Structures are given as C-alpha cells and as structure tokens.
Amino acid sequence: MGLVQNFQKRLDGWFSAITGVGVLGTDKRLSYTMGALYLIPDQELSALFHGDDIAGKIVSLLPEEAMSRGYQITGPEPEQVDEWKTALEELDFWCTLRRAAIFSRLYGGGALVLVVDDGQTSPEAQSLPLRKDRIRRVEAVKYTDRRRLTRVLGVDGLWRLEPVRGGESAIMIHESRLVFLGGADTDDEMREQLDGWDFSVLQRCYHVIRDHAAAWASVSLRLQESSYSKTVIKGLARMLASGQEDAVKSRLELLNYSRSAAKTIILDSEEAYQRDIDNLTGIDDVLTVYQSRVAAAAGMPVTKLWGTSARGLNATGEGDADDWARQVQVFRNSYLQTPLEVVLELVAASAEGPFGGQVPEGWSIEWPELEPMSDKERAEIYKLLTDADAVNIDRQVLDPEEVALHRFKGMGYDAGNAFAIDLKEREESLEMRRELREKGFELGMEGGEDEQPGDEGSAEDEAEGGGGEAGGETGDE
C-alpha cells in the first residue's frame, strides 16, 4: 500500500518499482535537494575580488570589455560632440562609471552621486529634489556601493550616505541626485529581503569557484608528492625490532647526505635505492572540466575567462567571440547606456556647460564594435558591396548618382551606409516618365507614322504631295 501511495504522489517523472528508479529510499538521486541559500558576506566578497584572480575576472571583465572602445555621440556637429566629451573628461566620468559598474556587480548594487549646482544653496540642498531646469553646472560625479547607502525609513525618496571615514557625519541625498546600478538579476522577493538591492554576480558561481580552487590545490599537493625515493635495507624489520632505530636513522641520514653533497649514493651490496614518480595522467583533463564548469557558472566563454584557445577539431573560436560580443552589447545597452545618457544630458543642460543650457536635439549614443575589422575584412566587404552596386546599376534598380551620393558622403567609401530609397519620389519619377512617353506617342500619331524625331521638313514634304523623289526634284529646281 505504501508503494502505491508513493506512486500516486509522484507523477512528475519516470517510475519503476522493479529497478527502483523514482522510488524514494531506493533511488539515490531523490536524496539531492537544493540547500538553503548561502549569502556571501561583504567581507568575503571583498576578499574574493582582491584575492582570487578568477573571481575578480568574473566581476570586472565584462565592464572592462564593454568600455574598452569608448562611445560615440551622433546627431550634433563634430565640434559640439568634442566639447561634450571634453566636459565629461573634466569630470573623470568614464573612470567613475567603470568603477561603478565593477563594484556594483561585486556587491550587488550601488549608485552614482550627482553633485550638481541647481541654485539651491541651503546646507540641505542635497536632500532636496534636483531642479533640472535651473542647473548651473555639474561639479562632480562620485560613486558609492550599496554598503554605504541606505534608505531613510518614513521619508519617500531620501537616502542616507554613510561616510568612508569615522568621525564624519552622514549625508542625506534625494534619489533624483542618484543614478542606481544593480548587480546580478534578482527577483522582487529576494530584493525585498536585501533592502532593495541585488545579489552579487559571484553568488551563483561561488560554490563552483570554491570547488575549482580546491581541485587546483589538490593537484598542487599531488605534484609536490609525485616524486619520492625508496630505500631497501636488508633486515630492516629485525633491526627495528631489536631496538636499533638510531642505527637505521644514521644510515638514512648518511644516504641523504651523500646524495646532496657528492650527488652520489653510497650503498651496501645488499641495499637498494630507487626513485619513483607518481602517475599524473588525466589530471589536465580533470582541470579542463573544472574550467568549463566555472565558465558556465559565470556565463562567460572559456576562451575569455581562462585566456585559452578554442579546443576541438577545426575549432576557431568564432562562435565564442560572437556570443561574447552579443553579451557585451547587451551589457552596454542595459547597464551603461542609462547612466551615460543621464550625465550627458545634465552636462548639456547646465548653464555653464558647453551648450549654455540648450540640449542638442536628436542626439543618441552609439557603441563601436568590440573587435574592429582588419584591412583584409574591409577590402572583402568593399568588393562585395561594389559588385552588388554594379548589379543594381546594370539592372537600373539604382542610378550611378544615387550610389555615389550614398557611398561617398564622407572622404572615402562608406560600406555601412545602407540605401534608403524614397519610394514616393520614385513613384513620382516613374509617373513623370510615363506621362512623357504618352505625350511623345501622341505627338507621333499627330505628325504621322513616318515622322521620326530629328527628320526636319519631312512633314512639309509629305504635305506637298511629294515623296522622296519629288522632294529631290524640288530641291534640284
């Protein structure tokens, strides 16, 4: 009856009373369950980042790769873009954003603190909402992680920033003067338990990193003990039983001394010395599996995390590179774009900024490619596009002038400038050509079928009733 009840309770997988699969108490797999979540303390997170190279790389590599090629501002004139970027360089914002991205990922969140002069001069100005329409200048942009930032209970939109050093007073800051950054993806329920913050990106891969470190340490110990010496002494057991331990020790010390001093081992005729090396075959395969497991837990390609080349037959690593490029682009758009846009807009809106408070219209941020194309790749793309342009011109899909205007807007050939054909303009042009053809046909009908463009006087000749010969006679007369 108990087996039947157990069977009725389990309707979520394969079950066999004969083999024991799916039977609780027989199938050992059913004994595995998820244990309680171990929340990594802040002190241990700091130790992992600064003391473990793999943990530090998991945290910092994605922001560093995403920010390695900078950013581009499109829309305004080049001179305006240069002034805009110069204003951000004076604030050292790019370095601040880099640190903010790294340590927010490490500790599960943080915020950029906007030090802005908006005309409010009271000592509590930082605790008041930011007046974006009265910004004089952006004085600084600073960063703090979640450990120093707590929400003030009972007051909406107010946060308390704890000082770095003891003896200093805390600062009250309104949330409109903060730009928050998160850590790992965390659901709302867990965020509520974490006071509104996220998990660290190391939380999910913590146990895997620990297991890899233990495996690496075990291999190191195995290597230290892989080579050992063996000495055979006749009658050793009898000597130890008769209390001649000192004689045995003296003999071993003499062997060791002779080996280190003269690099020669002196042996009796009935003694033997042998040096053995432990078999280490397969250890590299075990470590490779651990490396793949850590990379999978961190959500990173093995080639990026460990700096190794792609493994396998005909492996080029292009798939890993493409996956990593997409991951970097997602991080740029979802993590870096918002704080960068906020600070750029504040700098542009400031009265003492490069634009005098007038924010340029139609501006946007574009991220360059992670891996720029080589000269060979650019030449191959140029060849393909020019061939396609030639086909479109030959088949009268495009005019040569259109190709020239679209491809050579700048100083050189623009491979990335796709054609945007104005269909309305094309329809008007076709309609105009159709009307011209119809008018030409009507004129031809009115003038006679034999009338050809350019045959001057032919209509007059036919009106006079003379053919070609008559016309000739008239001309002769």
Q: Output the tens digit of pLDDT for each of the chain's 477 residues.
A: 455 555 445 455 677 878 888 788 788 888 788 888 899 999 999 999 999 999 999 999 999 999 999 999 998 888 989 999 999 999 999 999 999 999 999 999 999 999 999 998 888 899 999 999 999 999 999 999 999 999 998 899 999 999 887 778 899 999 999 999 999 999 999 999 999 999 999 999 999 999 999 999 988 888 887 776 777 887 888 888 888 888 888 877 877 777 765 567 767 777 777 777 777 788 888 899 999 999 999 999 998 999 887 665 455 667 788 889 999 999 999 999 999 999 999 999 999 988 888 888 889 999 998 877 778 877 888 888 888 888 988 988 877 777 776 676 554 555 555 555 565 666 777 677 677 777 775 655 555 554 444 444 444 444 444 444 444 444 443
Helix (H, G, I), strand (E, B) or coil at 114: strand
Q: Which helix (H) or strand (E) holds 329?
A: helix 318-331
Tokens of 361: 């219209």
Q: Which helix (H) or strand (E) holds 392?
A: helix 375-394
Residue type, 460: E
How many Cβ atoms are within 10 Å of 396's Cβ, its own excluded? 7
CB 112 within 8 A of CB 97: yes
DSSP 31: G
Q: Which residues contact 89 (CB under 8 A, 6 or more apart)?
A: none
CB 166 within 8 A of CB 380: no
Pick from 109, 125, 127: which is nearest to 117 by CA?
Answer: 125
Predicted TM-score (pTM) of this structure: 0.72
Longest dimension (CA), the chain: 158
Residue length of the chain: 477
Confidence at residue 474, expressed as pLDDT on a 0 to 100 scale: 43
- Alpha carbon distance 199, 38 (integer Å): 11
Confidence at residue 467, expressed as pLDDT on a 0 to 100 scale: 45
Residue 142, Cβ density class (10 Å: 0-12 exposed, 13-18 middle, ≥19 buried) = middle
Tokens of 160: 């308390």
Strand pairing partners for 144?
Answer: 111
Angle, CA 434 vertex, CA 428 and CA 439 arms, to 5°: 125
CB 87 within 8 A of CB 354: yes
Q: List the beta strands (DSSP E) in 146-241.
A: 149-151, 158-161, 171-174, 178-182, 227-232
DSSP 1: -
Q: Which helix (H) or strand (E) holds 110?
A: strand 109-117
Q: List the beta strands (DSSP E) in 259-398.
A: 272-277, 364-366
- Alpha carbon distance 72, 366 (integer Å): 5
Angle, CA 351 vertex, CA 335 and CA 353 arms, to 5°: 55
